Amino acid sequence: MSDQPITSIMIIASTARMKYAGSNMYAEIMIPGVAATEAALPGNKGETRVFTIGASGTKKASEISPADISISTEPPNEGNAWLPSALYVLGKGDSSDYQVICAIPEWPEQVWLSQDPNDHYLPDAVPAISLDLVLKALNPA
């Protein structure tokens, strides 16, 4: 598999099955200089959404790290926190297959997302986070 400039990003996001995990919010997923999108979250418990967005072609998958990728909550429908169960970011070039850029197969239960930190207690929700911090929450060593 060749490491071509990324021209398409695929996001696979799932909502946890825990009580109150679902949300009607939107999220922005951003890779600066490469791609950004605002999309409706997979709102119901256990739901998964897959969507693709165009990318700039300025970086190869090997040049993108989880620290480069962030997710933040967006209006409308604020007022409830979202807890993902998994999040995957894949990228491909014009003539290549998708390859994994970042995989979070088990989202940490302590990282809830919301514009209002009071939408979830113990711990408070966060409005935005980079995926490297999510991975560090999984492996705090």
pLDDT in tens, 2-44: 689 999 999 999 999 988 888 888 889 999 999 999 988 888 8
Q: What is the pTM of this model?
A: 0.91
Measured CA to CA, the distance from residue 1 to residue 29 in angstroms comes to 25
75 pLDDT band, cuts 50/70/90, is low
Helix (H, G, I), strand (E, B) or coil at 47: coil
Alpha helices in the chain (DSSP H): 131-138
1 pLDDT band, cuts 50/70/90, is very low
Q: Per the structure block, which two tokens stand in for 75?
A: 């209006």
